[in-house]
Amino acid sequence: MTPYPSDALSVQLPALKSGPVSVAGWIHRVRRIGGLTFVVIRDGLGLMQVRHSDADAPLPRLEPEMAVRVSGVLVQESRAPDGVEIREPAFDVLSEPESPLPFHLGAPTLEAGLDLRLNHRTASLRHPSIRQVFQIEAALAEGFRSGLAARHFTEVWTPKLLGCASESGANVFSVQYFDREAFLAQSPQFYKQMLVGVFGRVYEIGPVFRAEPHDTVRHLSQYTSMDVEMGFIDDHHTVMAVLRDVMDVMLQTARPESALDWPKVPDAIPVVHFADALEMVSEGLGEDVRHEPDLAPAHEQWLGAWAKSQYGSDFLFVEGYPMQKRPFYTAPDPARALYSNSFDLLFRGQEIVTGGQRLHRYQDYLEALQERGMSTAGLEGYLEAFRLGMPPHGGFAIGLERLASRLMGLANIRDAALFPRDLKRLEP
């Protein structure tokens, strides 16, 4: 069996300190100063500096984005970015670009507008500042997994091709499925609930699809949903407590060493009731929104600023959304039937999570569907779970790209998707 190449990955170099090394990556930047040439090599995780002096073996022609392998001697050098650099390099050019890149990747920030960045995605993703967004997303997912595994949740994978819509009927993509119509899953909602009846506590990270007809900076037509569902809860507050703890693990896992303004999840995230939130927003914005059935983005923004000034918190729970705005599976507030045992979590003034307690009795489902004029057709498999004895349960879903774009201060959610899908974009 062929062994793995023993290249020193960029992240391992500082620990190695000195000695012969071989690294592989792409030419990120080449700079000549006096009799020296500094070549920055980028591998999948970071950058490393190579120093060539005119006394060394001659350099081959080196152009940005060539794939190369370099052998040399690692030495400590306090002026190098990581405190080490490779000297006396021997370059092996493995391949070179067929055409120049549409933008320059060697500068600290990428000077390219959104369309250019997205049209040439494999190129823009190579820029360290852009690539870092997805390394942080991977770390958020790792924290989500480890936080939930430690709390005895089982990871599951549910179908994305469905026989009927999984949320409200709106915003669903239909596809040809052999000789009939199928739908792309808007969420794993039904399946995660059904699986509570099996495992008690489940989670899933997977793609979901929303036929979002509007072109906004916070909607994608495919995004990554981080779903949780758990049984034997008291009410939605049990779920909110799990969300708080898991979010804490996620942010700690994803925190880059260099982070300055990294948010902290408060021990107790402040909670406001939806009705009180509308009162406060009405007063704060000077317009009467008390009869609105939902929070508009401007309202969320106001509430985010309020939570920051009142509690120093980047997070705010809004609970008790009106039943009319929540899907049929939502449990009502036993004390105020027009409101629900549901919540959103706002982060820096934007909804990043939705969750709540669900109905769990079969008869309640039949009534809820009937009240909303919905048929049970196509829901037989889902409803069977409730006929077989389901505990009080609830859960939530975090929108990964929403969270990541807020976390990293990205103005447009498209920048938090590797290959975003929106109203117009199906390529690359």
- CB 236, min distance to ligand AMO, A: 10
Task: Supply the minimum distance, in Å, between the C-beta of residue 128 and ligand AMO.
Answer: 25
Answer yes or no whether residue 395 interacts with ligand AMO by CB under 6 A.
Answer: yes
The only residue of 46, 143, 355, 420 in contact with ligand AMO, by rule CB under 6 A: 355
- Which residue, 269, 273, 276, 354, is CA-closest to 315? 269
Among 351, 406, 416, 421, binds ligand AMO (CB under 6 A): 351
In sequence order, the 6+-apart residues with CB closer than 8 A to the CB of 157 are 204, 206
Should residue 356 be labelled a site residue for ligand AMO when binding is judged by CB under 6 A?
Answer: yes
Q: What is the largest CA-CA distance in the chain?
A: 84
Q: Say whether residue 354 binds ligand AMO (CB under 6 A).
A: yes
Residue among 316 and 352 whose Cβ is closer to ligand AMO: 352
d(CA 220, CA 416): 10
The footprint of ligand AMO on residues 209-248 (CB under 6 A) is: 210, 212, 219-220, 223, 225
Binding-site member from 272, 353, 404, 416 for ligand AMO (CB under 6 A)? 353
Judged by beta carbon, residue 147 or residue 356, the one nearer ligand AMO is: 356
Please report how close the Cβ of residue 347 comes to ligand AMO at its closest, in angstroms: 9
Site for ligand AMO in 177-196 (CB under 6 A): 187, 189
Q: In 10 A of CB 50, how many CB atoms?
A: 24
| Contact region with ligand AMO (CB under 6 A), list: 28-36, 195-203, 252-260, 391-399 | 391-399
Contact 390, 379 (CB under 8 A): no
| Count of residues in contact with ligand AMO, rule CB under 6 A | 22
125-184 positions binding ligand AMO, by CB under 6 A:
167
- To which H or E segment does residue 192 belong? helix 189-199
- Between CA 285 and CA 297, with CA 291 as vertex, the angle to 5 degrees is 50
Q: How far is the CB of 245 from ligand AMO (least distance, A)?
A: 17
Tokens read off for 422? 């929106």
CB of 311 to ligand AMO, least distance (A): 21
Name the pairing type of β-strands 174-177 and 180-184: antiparallel
Cα separation, 243 vs 343, in Å, equals 11
- Using the contact rule CB under 6 A, the part of the chain among 16-24, 25-33, 64-72, 397-405 near ligand AMO is 397-405
396 binds ligand AMO (CB under 6 A): yes
Q: Which of residues 26 and 191 has its CB atom nearest to ligand AMO in the complex? A: 191
- Element spanning 261, H or E: none
Nearer to ligand AMO, 126 or 210 (CB): 210
Query: Which stretches does DSSP call E strand in 14-160?
Result: 19-33, 36-42, 47-53, 67-76, 84-95, 154-155
- How many DSSP H helices and E strands does the chain contain? 11, 18
Q: For the chain, how big is the Rg over CA atoms in Å?
A: 26
Binding site for ligand AMO (CB under 6 A): 167, 187, 189, 210, 212, 219-220, 223, 225, 351-356, 395-397, 399, 401-402, 413
